[in-house]
Amino acid sequence: MRLTPTGFMPVISAFLRPLCCLLVLAATAFNFGTAYAQEVRTITVEEAVRIALDRNVTLRQASNNLEAQSAQVQAERGDFLPSLSAGFGPSQSYGTSFDQTTGGFTTEATQSLFGQVQSNITVFSGYANVATLSQARHTLNARDYTMERTRQAVVFNVISNYLDVIANREQINIRQENLESQEQQLEQIREFTRVGARPISDLYQQEANTAQAEFQLLEAERQLQLSQTRLIQVLQLDPFGNYDFTVPELDENTTLTPEAHQLDALLREAFGRRADLKAQEATIDASEQGIRAARSGYFPTVSFSAGVSSFYSSGLTGVSFSDQFFDQRRTQDLGFNVNIPLFNRFRTNNQVQQAKIQHENARLGLESQQQDVALQVRQAYLDYQTSAKNLDVTEKQEIAAQRALDAEQERYAVGAATLVELSQARATFVQAASDRVNARYNFLFQEKLLDYYTGVLDPSSSLTLTE
């Protein structure tokens, strides 16, 4: 039987129908997966701060250290309480053995049980327990201040990277407007050259200017992608995800008003509020208690103990378990122990010297840290003053560059100016607009930096990037 071309059609149709269905399903699944993969997550600055505070490794480590030190304080409190222990030991013996209960030898297997409850309390330890508890509390305060400063650092890092993203977005807007202006200028010059009003060199030059503007736009977009990547890294987000970092953009009409800060007041505020300085001061207090704890080795220790014990043996016939264990063979003991250190091979002296060195190093660390804080605040103050002045300078510069560009465009339209002059005026305006954006966002950054260095930045307050 031969199949004609017409006879092949049912066979081909039967084969292609399920294949097409599979292709449609695969395409649908691919499109669904692509749509899912390209789903954009919108993140505000408040949410970014929350994410960073939840995921930052350094902050989580500081939280763990704080929790561990809190447990250490609880353990030091326990040194003031009496200890209590209980134990028992059953045994069975075989063969010939001496029975202490009868005073003779026996060959029978005997069972015995020993039980004891013991308690001990330190009455005096040379104030070692008092000093170690106080030292643990000061260390806990230091860990608490360290965590607070770490939270401030995390928040500031998020804000600074967010400002970088916004500034780069503004740069894209400037470059986009410049490209559109260059393209419009290119169309005008192309028409001028067509009618012979302008030389062909102007057309070639404008084409180069347009290409340069397009390149600058691409570079601005690349900078935005880099700044968003850095922010993703700071927030420790999934690098394969798509994110839209939305923040209130700084309106051009918004007035940024610099504050009249005084350097002396800023320094006093930093010394009074910086959490890292408070942490170092608490470390010094802890080291002082460490010296006191080390000196306790020179003093005697006094302890008191009490206990109850009992014994049962099956070799003692005629006496029940309860009579033996709870009555006849039960004993109580009270003890009072005094330990006087006479010579411990200079170990106490060494411990005291080591504690004094740690205290001195902590004090020197505070002095060095105070010097660093003073330099940080002074530098931040000077940078803030400079950024405030740049607000006024760049505003005037942008206005003047805009007027110069308008004038050159009018002159070029009537043939009184060259394309080189017009291109220079446009480049000057684009640079002035870019400097203006950088000045505004740099001013906001310097404000946050000043808050961070003076310790005013509050991670728990509502955070805004604009005034």
The predicted model gives 248-256 an average pLDDT of 62
pLDDT at position 299, please? 93
3-state class (DSSP) for residue 305: strand
Q: Is the pLDDT of residue 9 over 70?
A: no
Whole-angstrom Cα distance, residue 401 to residue 334? 96
Q: Is the pLDDT of residue 11 over 60?
A: no
Predicted confidence band at 206 (pLDDT cuts at 50, 70, 90)? Answer: very high
185 with 208: CB under 8 angstroms? no
Q: Which of 76, 75, 63 is nearest to 143 (CA)?
A: 63
Which residues touch 428 (CB under 8 Å, ≥6 apart)?
401, 404, 405
- Listed in order, strand segments (DSSP E) in 215-277 are 242-245
Positive or negative, the CA dihedral 146, 152, 155, 156 is negative
* C-alpha count within 13 angstroms, C-beta hemisphere, residue 165: 26
Whole-angstrom Cα distance, residue 340 to residue 444? 66
3-state class (DSSP) for residue 274: coil
Tokens of 226: 């880099």
The predicted model gives 430-451 an average pLDDT of 92
pLDDT at position 113, please? 83
Q: Higher confidence at residue 304 or residue 463? A: 304
Predicted confidence band at 158 (pLDDT cuts at 50, 70, 90)? Answer: very high
pLDDT at position 92, please? 79
* DSSP H or E stretch at residue 465: none
465 with 251: CB under 8 angstroms? no
Q: Domain residues of the chain, as ranges?
A: 45-81+125-299+345-454, 92-124+302-340
pLDDT at position 104, please? 66
pLDDT at position 317, please? 66
Range among 200-204, 357-361, 413-417, 441-445 rated most confident: 357-361
Predicted confidence band at 349 (pLDDT cuts at 50, 70, 90)? Answer: very high
3-state class (DSSP) for residue 308: strand
Q: Is the pLDDT of residue 36 over 70?
A: no
Give how far Cα 407 sits from Cα of 14, 410, 414, Å.
Answer: 75, 5, 11
Tokens of 247: 């923040």
Q: What pLDDT digit, counting tens, does each position of 293-339 carry?
A: 999 999 999 999 999 998 877 766 667 777 777 777 788 899 989 99
Least confident of 20-34, 265-279, 315-329, 359-373: 20-34
221 with 215: CB under 8 angstroms? no
Single-letter amino acid code for the residue at 449? L
Predicted confidence band at 190 (pLDDT cuts at 50, 70, 90)? Answer: very high
3-state class (DSSP) for residue 177: helix
Q: Is the pLDDT of residue 466 over 70?
A: no
Whole-angstrom Cα distance, residue 439 to residue 124? 66
pLDDT at position 327, please? 74
Q: How many CB atoms lie within 10 A of CB 467?
A: 11
3-state class (DSSP) for residue 123: strand
Whole-angstrom Cα distance, residue 351 to residue 348? 5
Residue matched to tokens 């005096």: 124
Tokens of 317: 């016939």
Predicted confidence band at 107 (pLDDT cuts at 50, 70, 90)? Answer: low
Least confident of 173-182, 244-253, 328-337, 405-414: 244-253
**At CA 146, angle to CA 142 and CA 147, rounded to 5?**
120
Q: What pLDDT digit, counting tens, does each position of 363-375 carry?
A: 999 999 999 999 9
Q: Is the pLDDT of residue 241 over 70?
A: yes
Which pTM was predicted?
A: 0.80
Q: Is the pLDDT of residue 232 over 90?
A: yes
Whole-angstrom Cα distance, residue 103 to residue 45? 87
pLDDT at position 427, please? 93
Predicted confidence band at 198 (pLDDT cuts at 50, 70, 90)? Answer: confident
pLDDT at position 181, please? 93
DSSP letter, residue 81: S
pLDDT at position 19, please? 45
Which residues touch 322 (CB under 8 Å, ≥6 apart)?
none
Q: Is the pLDDT of residue 95 over 70?
A: no
Give how far Cα 162 sits from Cα of 147, 159, 166, 282, 442, Å.
Answer: 23, 5, 6, 34, 12
Burial 94-106 (b: 16+ CB within 10 A, else e): eeeeebebeeeee
Assign domain 45-81+125-299+345-454 to its CATH architecture: Up-down Bundle (1.20)
Whole-angstrom Cα distance, residue 51 to residue 231? 11
